[in-house]
Structure 1
């Protein structure tokens, strides 16, 4: 399978890229900034490229830059690259634990720009690369986007993830007949730069679960919503 992973240079994105390569897949690893040469941002990806020659392509991909995404998708199409799966992983966590009275709406705007509009831009321009084949789109969401378990605070992150869940549901309705599975996946509270060192979850375990969903080793039980955790179990909307 050919799989695009955004935000692939660290955290869950890196763990998932490594897991998919180990399973024999080919990965386009989207990273923000210059992807054409080793840097502190993407050095571990270059190490992976050496371990899996010919199966890892790094791509400069800023999910806030629609022109750049369109150009990348056009270049892949002209090179004959087709996709079997997309993992929209790139995200930010801004305005953490800020009360509504002090909320900076620049944090709201940035969060929607990256966490919601970013995946929408990627799907808009990369969905044609699926052709007529079955596939999978995974939007990395969060329990913070649950209406049932809503808590006070984290407004930018929580609201952007709730909106991402809605986008995932809409996309599922559109693509179900084409046998393209769409999931909004809560990866768990995992030890990453975003999750922090105190998080109990292991990004490698989450990556294995997401890879199982992409490969359809795990098929969630039929239900009205596509919001699930990395093990394929339904999350409360």
Structure 2
């Protein structure tokens, strides 16, 4: 399969690139900072699959349009988009001290970014025999797990999960697999070294779902990395 992964330079995105290549998939790795991430990604070229890199800032629609044009000039379709890129800022801010510039930046990356990715890349997905959209969300954005903090991140992930539900309603009749995934608390720059999980295990679970080795329930749109339904 041809898999486009955003935020591929580090953390879960990097683990997804590694696992997808090991399984023989053709990976398009979207990275915002080419200078920082190019070399360590190119070291993965020895995998069974093929790897190509594109500069991609999901918070900038013009950059998404340019990336889509570049991809479209090389190939006629993609099979999977994994909207993994995201940010976590203003963690220590109460609602009284919250700077809405942080709120706007978070929504731009965590919600509008995936929406714009689908807006522009959907025509390439529609050509696939087995199209799939994966939005990396979070338990922090569910009503069942609501807590008084992380306002930008939690609200953005709640919106992303709802967008996933909308996409599923719209695209399932066309043969799409669409789901949001809670990756778990994993050891990344966002999750911290104290996290109990690791991105490699999460990447394996997500790839199993993409490859349809794990059958997802028809009536859910958010699952954990093992494919188990999450409360909304």
User: TM-score scaled by structure 1?
Assistant: 0.94
53 and 236 in structure 1: CA distance in 2 versus 1, 3 angstrom threshold: closer
Unpaired segments ≥5 residues, structure 2: none
Residue of structure 1 in register with 2:190 after alignment: 194
Given that 1:134 and 1:178 are in contact with CA atoms closer than 8 Å, whether structure 2 keeps it comes out as no
**Alpha-carbon distance, 1:53 to partner:** 7.8
> Which residue number corresponds to residue 208 of structure 2?
212
Instruction: Trace 1:137-148 onto structure 2 (pairs within 5 A).
Output: 137-148=133-144
Q: Cα RMSD over matched residues?
A: 1.3
Q: Residue 76 of structure 1: SS of its match in structure 2?
A: helix
User: Do structure 1's residue 231 and structure 2's residue 226 form an aligned pair?
Assistant: yes
Aligned residues: 231
Whole-angstrom CA distance in 1 between matches of 2:142 and 2:205:
20
Match of 2:44 among 44, 48, 59: 48
Q: Residues of 1 paired with 2:64 and 2:71: CA distance? A: 11
The residue that corresponds to 2:13 in the other structure is 13
Following the alignment from structure 1 to structure 2, what is the Cα–Cα distance between the partners of residues 54 and 117? 30
2:176 matches 1:180: yes
Shift in Å at residue 40 of structure 1?
A: 3.3
Cα distance, 1:53–1:218 mapped onto 2, change above 3 Å: closer
Give the CA deviation at 1:54: 7.1
Bigger shift: 128-137 or 227-236?
Answer: 128-137
* Aligned partners of 2:20 and 2:49 also within 8 Å: no
Q: SS of the counterpart of 1:30?
A: strand
Match of 1:33 in 2: 33
Q: Aligned partners of 1:229, 1:9: CA distance in 2, in Å?
A: 22
Q: Shift of residue 43 of structure 1?
A: 2.5
CA distance in 1, matches of 2:169, 2:36: 40
Give the equivalent residue in structure 1 for 2:148. 152
Residue 3 in 1 paired to residue 3 in 2? yes
Instruction: Return 115-124 or 95-104, whichever deviates more.
Output: 95-104
The offset of 1:64, in angstroms, is: 1.1
Aligned residue number for residue 127 of structure 1: 122
Structure 2 CA distance for aligned equivalents of residues 93 and 81 of structure 1: 34
1:54–1:226 distance in 2 versus 1, CA, 3 Å: closer
Q: Distance in 1 between matches of 2:207 and 2:110?
A: 21
Q: In the TM superposition, what is the alpha-carbon distance from 1:65 to its structure 2 partner?
A: 1.4
**Range that drifts further, 185-194 or 77-86:** 77-86
Does 2:71 align with 1:76? Answer: yes
- TM-score by structure 2 length? 0.96
CA distance in 2, matches of 1:131, 1:149: 34
